[in-house]
């Protein structure tokens, strides 16, 4: 390529970036103009909704029947954020989700949200901390909370699913207002924590003026590998977490447990799901002073193998009513026994967190970011109510955060996040 050709291409790119910035889509943040994202990009003959790059390393596709990050196996790191919506109109909110669609595909391709330009007088569109890293199996999952539909300026009241309500107060809840609710959520999971943070950072930066941060939580999982297969991760109490999950490879099972079917909710939720987020403080110093036998009776499982008490293997049948010498093998106040008292099932996606030292107690500020997916919030509510005040695990945990979000169905090529909501 000649120097004159390179100069011409560079001038076009700088011109494009400058126009996008004037249109409010530049590196300093997003303030979408009257023509919106689509109009600005179409002026340059570009498709605002880019395609998955199947050649990208450690790539998970964005376009699918369902959103990524729900059935995706073995997530290692999460950056979860709850947002307040400050958009002044339905049109602004729609344009934000359109921009997030483009940026999400780029991020999940392991690319920058926008290429760097030679004009150093402008901020870069991408913050750059993930440059040179691959896609790291990044997944992005978006949801909307009940409070979003209460904003009159958005005109979405008639679109609110009847089951999308704030979760009820459960026994033993001691919720911190700083970790409750939200209008919109983003769940970013990746093999690399910096990739997950970079994704959330750039999505929020791009939506400046449309959202503000309400609360966030990072989390992690580590996996033992046996015969090249990742095993169930352990929480900070050292017990395996997620043993009883339904099989994400079984489509029928997922339709029964996770995915909203036609007629089961408002129309735009078909193919979507409901996300429950709970921030659970774990009193690990108290736990560490507890005998191993009492720990196992608390969960109803053996710590080393994850097997039900009295059995050998993690996935052995629970046999909840087994007795030995006239006494139940699985204690009636154990976590697993109480969970099995209801027929409802959920898909757990939990992550451990460690946030330093609690300022009031001097103890570890550590615990579990519990996330679950279910086709109706009542599935989680029924299970949580079954634990009630009798769950022996209550001695060692305190629920500090709580939120519920409706997750959009997947995005088809040529469409955008939440398109069904906006009609």
Per-residue 3-state assignment (H helix, E strand, C coil) for 64-105: CCCCCCCCCCCCCEEEEEEEEECCCCHHHHHHHHHHHHHHHH
- Confidence at residue 48, expressed as pLDDT on a 0 to 100 scale: 61
* Residue of 420, 416, 407, 411 whose CA lies nearest to 63: 411
Domain extent at residue 124: 3-281+404-422
CA–CA separation, 394 vs 233, rounded Å? 21
Q: Report if residue 296 sits inside a domain.
A: no
Q: Report if residue 289 sits inside a domain.
A: no
Q: Report if residue 365 sits inside a domain.
A: no
Q: Report if residue 34 sits inside a domain.
A: yes
Q: Report if residue 148 sits inside a domain.
A: yes
Question: Could you list the mean pLDDT of each consecutive 10-residue stretch along the chain, which spans 423 residues?
Answer: 43 40 40 40 54 96 98 97 98 97 97 90 95 97 98 97 97 95 98 98 97 98 95 97 95 98 97 98 97 98 97 95 93 96 96 93 94 98 96 97 98 94 87
Contacts of 31 (CB under 8 A, 6+ apart): 24, 208, 209
Q: Report if residue 135 sits inside a domain.
A: yes
Q: How many domains does the chain have?
A: 1
- Confidence at residue 361, expressed as pLDDT on a 0 to 100 scale: 85
Q: Report if residue 291 sits inside a domain.
A: no
- Confidence at residue 35, expressed as pLDDT on a 0 to 100 scale: 36
- Confidence at residue 118, expressed as pLDDT on a 0 to 100 scale: 85
CA of 169: how far to CAs of 74, 121, 165, 336, 370, in Å?
Answer: 31, 52, 12, 21, 16
- Confidence at residue 215, expressed as pLDDT on a 0 to 100 scale: 98
Q: Report if residue 348 sits inside a domain.
A: no
- Confidence at residue 40, expressed as pLDDT on a 0 to 100 scale: 45
């Amino acid at each position: 390529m000649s120097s004159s050709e390179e100069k011409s291409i560079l001038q076009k790119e700088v011109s494009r970036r400058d126009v996008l910035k004037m249109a409010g889509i530049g590196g300093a943040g997003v303030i979408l103009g009257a023509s919106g994202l689509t109009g600005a990009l179409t002026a340059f003959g570009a498709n605002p909704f880019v395609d998955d790059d199947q050649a990208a390393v450690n790539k998970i596709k964005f376009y699918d029947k369902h959103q990524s990050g729900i059935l995706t196996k073995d997530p290692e790191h999460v950056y979860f954020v709850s947002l307040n919506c400050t958009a002044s109109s339905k049109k602004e909110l729609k344009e934000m989700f359109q921009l997030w669609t483009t940026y999400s595909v780029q991020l999940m391709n392991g690319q920058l949200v926008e290429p760097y330009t030679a004009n150093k007088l402008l901020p870069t569109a991408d913050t750059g901390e993930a440059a040179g890293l691959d896609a790291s199996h990044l997944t992005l999952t978006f949801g909307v909370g009940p409070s979003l539909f209460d904003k009159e300026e958005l005109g979405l009241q008639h679109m609110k699913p009847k089951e999308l309500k704030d979760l009820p107060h459960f026994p033993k809840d001691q919720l911190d207002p700083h970790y409750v609710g939200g209008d919109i959520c983003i769940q970013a999971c990746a093999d690399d924590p910096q990739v997950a943070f970079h994704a959330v950072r750039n999505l929020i930066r791009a939506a400046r003026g449309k959202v503000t941060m309400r609360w966030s939580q990072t989390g992690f999982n580590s996996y033992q590998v046996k015969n090249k297969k990742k095993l169930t991760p352990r929480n900070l109490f050292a017990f395996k977490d997620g043993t009883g999950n339904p099989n994400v490879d079984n489509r029928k099972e997922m339709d029964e447990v996770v995915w909203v079917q036609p007629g089961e909710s408002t129309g735009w939720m078909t193919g979507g799901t409901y996300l429950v987020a709970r921030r659970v403080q774990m009193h690990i110093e108290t736990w560490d002073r507890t005998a191993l036998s009492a720990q196992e009776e608390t969960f109803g499982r053996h710590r080393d193998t994850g097997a039900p008490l009295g059995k050998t293997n993690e996935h052995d049948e629970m046999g909840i009513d087994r007795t030995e010498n006239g006494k139940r093998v699985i204690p009636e106040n154990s976590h697993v026994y109480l969970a099995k008292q209801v027929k409802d099932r959920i898909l757990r996606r939990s992550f451990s967190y460690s946030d330093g030292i609690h300022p009031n107690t001097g103890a570890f500020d550590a615990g579990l970011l519990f996330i679950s997916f279910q086709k109706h919030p009542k599935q989680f509510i029924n299970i949580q109510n079954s634990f009630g005040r009798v769950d022996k695990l209550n001695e060692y945990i305190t629920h500090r955060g709580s939120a519920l979000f409706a997750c959009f169905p997947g995005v088809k090529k040529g469409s955008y996040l939440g398109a069904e909501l906006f009609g």
